[in-house]
Chain A
Amino acid sequence: MTTGTATALACRDVSVNFGPVAALADVSVNFAEGMIHAVVGQNGAGKTTFARVAAGIVRPDKGGVEIAGREVPVGHVGQARAAGIEIVHQSFALPPSFTVAEAMEFGANGSGSLYTRRDLERRWTRHLESLGVRVKPRERIRDLPVETQQAVEIARALVTDARVLILDEPTAVLSPSGIDNLFERLKVMQANGVTVILILHKIREVLAIADTVTVLRGGKLVEGPTSTAEVDAARLAASIIGSTDDILSETDRDALVGAAEDEGKETEPAHHAGPAILDMRGVSTRPDPEGPALENVALTVGRGEIVGIAGVEGNGQRTLVRALSHLADLTGGTITLSGVEVTHHPLSARRANGLRVIPFERNSEGLSLSSALWENWSARALLRDGVLKLISPARLRRACTAALQVWDVRFNSPNQPAGSLSGGNAQKLILAREVDDEATLIIAAQPTRGLDVGATAFVWRSLREARDRGCGILLISSDLDELFDISDRIVVMLSGRINGEFSHPYHLGEIGAAMTGADR
């Protein structure tokens, strides 16, 4: 399948080092013209670096890039674009305050020539319509739903006769139906002769859209491009993960690589939830700087139960966590923790009541990166015991060392700054602090984002163990596979409201519909 056609993009012996870390090591790969290619791998496998080298954003330490058989100078975005390669980034790069027409003009030319607003709008309406993007050119980027933003970004990338379009994890921000729409759009582009390279990390999506698949692991090319007709999910999963069978059950592995079946299967008997640890009734908040207001949210988490919160990002998940942490202003409703009403209690009182929070932002909300490990680790206990208590730093350092060893954190000294830890180890440090014997409700917000397989499996195991000890766990994740794998119950949020509740067996279609409001 890959023979006989011309090569759209070729990389030769590309190596990239970030400090002592090799992000890519001698990757050579040829992508044939007119196909949809998938590049897959775990977090940290080098997928994004690969895309950025191809697009001229990252200059490789070694190696070269050819587009349509012609050598392109590496590390030069302008040259790469001129040669016909465009990239759509994982986090969108359009200026939020621009109108759609302005963003298109800026993205297309980046020039400062004179124009009138009406001119711009007329020019770009046609282009957007021809690509089937339904959006008013006058709207501001920040007011658009995520899915439309992405469509505009793709339209922006296609302004200049692009031959090769790279999309970096385009599905991560989309609902299941949004993913379907994206794939339809990509197929139309393929029919028009554009070569598409998709950075993905779910096997299900790879098999649904791609003609070929290329696997990266630890910065090295494992295989590819292999025709997707020749691979199956199990082999691909093994190829992506490598030999880590010892730490992963089969369902966990399938969840990690997005290979689980579309239709849910009975994985394990649902846990029988005990009496409610968390009981939110009719909770509404003011609009929060970090997301929409909660509207009349009712939610319970029982003893020994993992409740997953599903939803497209930005639908009130952050507000929910902030409301539970007394950081968002409630306008109505009550919050009860272990039978005690805490609606008006500060976070310190709620923590005294057993609440623990693993916040969304590991590096700003979870840790003080320039402070020592032992200070970060002991913060919770120090606050619990009162500010004027005498402490022995030496004893705290010893306790911290012991605790971090139990939690399998790789570190040299309790005095090293938290910022020197890798993402997985930093998350384990937070777990070591937040998952203790007195915890009754653990809020885990995106606890595995950006972690590699080992660390992800570790986090899942820790949460399950905490549940088995009787903790209630509220797991917020934008990864449905993760939620399906470890939640006992899934609650879907949409625009700050609860839009459906599901129990085993989960069906992707139903939950996806609830995430986008298509069920109503």
Chain B
Amino acid sequence: MIGYLTQVIRAIAFVFIALLLCGVIFEFAGFSAPLMFQSIADGAFLSVRAWENSLRWGLPLFLTALGVVISFRCGFFNIGAQGQFYMGAIAATFVADGLNGAPAVLVMPLTFAAGILGGAVWALWPGLLRVRSGTDEVITTLMGNFIAGLFLVYVTSGPLKDPSGTGQAASSRPIGEAYRIAATSSISPAIIVIAVLVGVGMWVLVNRTSFGVLSSLAGRNPIMVVWQGARLSRLGLAGFVIGGALAGLAGTIEVLGPIGRLSSGMLPTHGFTAILIALVANLSVLATAVVALFFGGLAAAGLYLPVLAGLPAAAIDIINAAIALFITARAWPKRLTGLFGSRQDAG
């Protein structure tokens, strides 16, 4: 327990060091660091409106990060959350757009199912390649991100193109009002309910089922669970598929919720921020919820920075990158070093 607390405190400390470093950088670049921190606090947490924004960005990140947590715990370095997020969004949009006009009770479950399935399938093939033939999942899932990103460009300017679209980014037609789960471009009770339910479900899966214990053992030492008679391929595939499904769910929520349509190049850093969240949270479900809200707050504050501090919104990307740097420097979580060690054995 003490060890766990020190880990959490260390992670928080590193986030603050990263923020300080960014403050110094911006100060030297001629911006006001105190004003920057002030506007981040204002934009993320210091008003009801700010909290709404933080939740709007944080909850989809939470879902995707949960998927990353599950996959990493199983010992598979699935970094394809971004592609799985896109594929979920694309599949959901195909269904919602194709069935436009049908009753919502029919369309909405199908849309969610399609989104979840889309993400899961996009994680399944790297998973199969990994467990069947040992193909490095870091390569396949990373490549999968590019394929999914380009596929998104294709569908938004091809099959799903909005003929009346005038904006610079190609996009699909807006999702029908009846199918939206958030009327405005913000958070809604429905999204909160989904996030809480899924969060509780994943917490139970990780902390209160055999799967949680066995996948953690497998992630730390796959050889040992093989000698216990586990089928590593199934545990691993489950990790991939759950990870993909959650990213797909997040994509569906973005399409049916705040964004309201599929657009080319939407949220291009979503999946990578999710990986960062999972690592900062040290692969704990509970910590992931807190960290996701923090990063959601940063994303929300990104919109305020140009207005209040005169900083470009990309300043948030610099902050994210600084946090990533410090978290990776903190040393890999043990289970990942174990993973890379065992990979050599397997090779």
Q: What is the interface of chain A, defined by CB distance below 8 A to chain B? A: 325, 327, 346-348, 350-351, 357, 359, 364-371, 375-376, 378-380, 382-383, 385-393, 415
User: Contacting B223 at CB < 8 Å: which of A347, A350, A364?
Assistant: A364
- Closest Cβ neighbor of A380 among chain B residues: B228
Of B223, B235, B338, chain A has the most CB atoms within 10 Å of the CB of B223
Residues in A with CB closer than 8 Å to B216 are 371, 375
**In the complex, number of A-B residue pairs with CB atoms less than 8 Å apart:** 92
Known contacts being A347-B229, A351-B229, is A367 close to B224, with CB within 8 Å?
yes
B217 with A368: CB separation less than 8 A: yes
In the bound complex, what is the Cα–Cα distance between A325 and B213 (angstroms)?
22
- Closest Cβ neighbor of A416 among chain B residues: B3
Give B90 Cβ to nearest chain A Cβ, in Å.
Answer: 30
In the bound complex, what is the Cα–Cα distance between A348 and B228 (angstroms)?
7
A387 with B217: CB separation less than 8 A: no
Known contacts being A327-B226, A348-B231, A391-B208, is A382 close to B220, with CB within 8 Å?
no
Residues in B with CB closer than 8 Å to A368 are 217, 220-221, 224-225
B235 with A365: CB separation less than 8 A: no
B132 interface hit (Cβ, 8 Å): no
B211 interface hit (Cβ, 8 Å): yes
Residues in A with CB closer than 8 Å to B220 are 368-371
B184 interface hit (Cβ, 8 Å): no
A388 with B217: CB separation less than 8 A: no
- Closest Cβ neighbor of A367 among chain B residues: B224
16 A-B residue pairings within 8 Å (CB atoms): A348-B229, A348-B231, A351-B229, A357-B227, A364-B221, A367-B221, A368-B220, A368-B225, A370-B221, A371-B220, A375-B217, A379-B214, A379-B228, A380-B229, A383-B229, A387-B210
Known: A325-B227, A387-B209. 8 other contacts (CB 8 A): A350-B229, A351-B228, A371-B220, A386-B210, A388-B210, A390-B209, A391-B210, A393-B207
Residues in A with CB closer than 8 Å to B231 are 346, 348
B221 with A371: CB separation less than 8 A: yes
Residues in B with CB closer than 8 Å to A325 are 227
Give B269 Cβ to nearest chain A Cβ, in Å.
Answer: 31
In the bound complex, what is the Cα–Cα distance between A385 and B214 (angstroms)?
12
- 10 closest A-B pairs by beta carbon, nearest first, are A368-B221, A348-B229, A347-B229, A382-B210, A368-B224, A368-B220, A351-B229, A365-B227, A387-B211, A379-B228
In the bound complex, what is the Cα–Cα distance between A385 and B335 (angstroms)?
25
User: Contacting B227 at CB < 8 Å: which of A359, A378, A388?
Assistant: A359
Number of interface residues of B (CB under 8 A): 28
User: Contacting A391 at CB < 8 Å: which of B209, B223, B234, B238?
Assistant: B209
A364 with B224: CB separation less than 8 A: yes
User: Contacting B224 at CB < 8 Å: which of A366, A392, A415?
Assistant: A366
- Closest Cβ neighbor of A364 among chain B residues: B223
In the bound complex, what is the Cα–Cα distance between A325 and B229 (angstroms)?
8
Give A440 Cβ to nearest chain B Cβ, in Å.
Answer: 15
Secondary structure at chain B's binding surface: helix, strand, loop or mixed? helix
A346 with B229: CB separation less than 8 A: yes
Known contacts being A370-B221, A383-B214, is A389 close to B227, with CB within 8 Å?
no
- Closest Cβ neighbor of A385 among chain B residues: B210
Residues in A with CB closer than 8 Å to B235 are 387
Q: What is the interface of chain B, defined by CB distance below 8 A to chain A? A: 1, 204, 207-211, 213-214, 216-217, 220-221, 223-231, 234-235, 238, 334-335, 338
B224 with A393: CB separation less than 8 A: no
Residues in A with CB closer than 8 Å to B226 are 327, 347
Give A319 Cβ to nearest chain B Cβ, in Å.
Answer: 15
Residues in A with CB closer than 8 Å to B228 are 347, 351, 379-380, 383
Give B73 Cβ to nearest chain A Cβ, in Å.
Answer: 11
A389 with B209: CB separation less than 8 A: yes
Of A325, A367, A387, chain B has the most CB atoms within 10 Å of the CB of A387
Residues in A with CB closer than 8 Å to B225 are 368, 379, 383
Residues in A with CB closer than 8 Å to B338 are 370
In the bound complex, what is the Cα–Cα distance between A383 and B230 (angstroms)?
7
Residues in B with CB closer than 8 Å to A365 are 223-224, 227
B224 with A370: CB separation less than 8 A: no
Of A351, A369, A383, A389, chain B has the most CB atoms within 10 Å of the CB of A383
Residues in A with CB closer than 8 Å to B208 are 390-393
In the bound complex, what is the Cα–Cα distance between A346 and B210 (angstroms)?
20
In the bound complex, what is the Cα–Cα distance between A327 and B204 (angstroms)?
32
- Closest Cβ neighbor of A415 among chain B residues: B1
In the bound complex, what is the Cα–Cα distance between A498 and B106 (angstroms)?
67
Residues in B with CB closer than 8 Å to A415 are 1
Residues in A with CB closer than 8 Å to B207 are 393
In the bound complex, what is the Cα–Cα distance between A388 and B204 (angstroms)?
10
Give B313 Cβ to nearest chain A Cβ, in Å.
Answer: 40
Known contacts being A325-B227, A348-B229, is A388 close to B209, with CB within 8 Å?
yes
Known contacts being A348-B230, A387-B235, is A376 close to B217, with CB within 8 Å?
yes
Residues in B with CB closer than 8 Å to A346 are 229, 231
Residues in B with CB closer than 8 Å to A359 are 227
B230 with A370: CB separation less than 8 A: no
Known contacts being A348-B230, A366-B227, is A379 close to B335, with CB within 8 Å?
no
Give B205 Cβ to nearest chain A Cβ, in Å.
Answer: 9
In the bound complex, what is the Cα–Cα distance between A386 and B220 (angstroms)?
20
Give B332 Cβ to nearest chain A Cβ, in Å.
Answer: 12
User: Contacting A378 at CB < 8 Å: which of B213, B221, B229, B335?
Assistant: B213
In the bound complex, what is the Cα–Cα distance between A369 and B334 (angstroms)?
11
- Closest Cβ neighbor of A350 among chain B residues: B229
In the bound complex, what is the Cα–Cα distance between A388 and B242 (angstroms)?
14
- Closest Cβ neighbor of A352 among chain B residues: B229
- Closest Cβ neighbor of A359 among chain B residues: B227
B221 with A369: CB separation less than 8 A: yes
Give B177 Cβ to nearest chain A Cβ, in Å.
Answer: 39
User: Contacting A382 at CB < 8 Å: which of B214, B221, B334, B335?
Assistant: B214
In the bound complex, what is the Cα–Cα distance between A5 and B293 (angstroms)?
80
In the bound complex, what is the Cα–Cα distance between A415 and B1 (angstroms)?
9
In the bound complex, what is the Cα–Cα distance between A486 and B2 (angstroms)?
45
In the bound complex, what is the Cα–Cα distance between A379 and B216 (angstroms)?
11
Known contacts being A350-B229, A375-B216, A375-B217, is A383 close to B210, with CB within 8 Å?
yes
Give A364 Cβ to nearest chain B Cβ, in Å.
Answer: 5
In the bound complex, what is the Cα–Cα distance between A415 and B216 (angstroms)?
14
Of B221, B227, B238, chain A has the most CB atoms within 10 Å of the CB of B227
Residues in B with CB closer than 8 Å to A383 are 210, 214, 225, 228-230
In the bound complex, what is the Cα–Cα distance between A12 and B254 (angstroms)?
75
Residues in B with CB closer than 8 Å to A385 are 210
In the bound complex, what is the Cα–Cα distance between A359 and B227 (angstroms)?
8
In the bound complex, what is the Cα–Cα distance between A111 and B94 (angstroms)?
69
- Closest Cβ neighbor of A349 among chain B residues: B229
- Closest Cβ neighbor of A379 among chain B residues: B228
- Closest Cβ neighbor of B204 among chain A residues: A390
In the bound complex, what is the Cα–Cα distance between A366 and B226 (angstroms)?
10
Give B204 Cβ to nearest chain A Cβ, in Å.
Answer: 8
Give A54 Cβ to nearest chain B Cβ, in Å.
Answer: 33
In the bound complex, what is the Cα–Cα distance between A347 and B226 (angstroms)?
9
In the bound complex, what is the Cα–Cα distance between A371 and B225 (angstroms)?
12
Residues in B with CB closer than 8 Å to A347 are 226-229
Residues in A with CB closer than 8 Å to B227 are 325, 327, 347, 357, 359, 365-366
- Closest Cβ neighbor of B335 among chain A residues: A370
A391 with B224: CB separation less than 8 A: no
In the bound complex, what is the Cα–Cα distance between A141 and B71 (angstroms)?
42
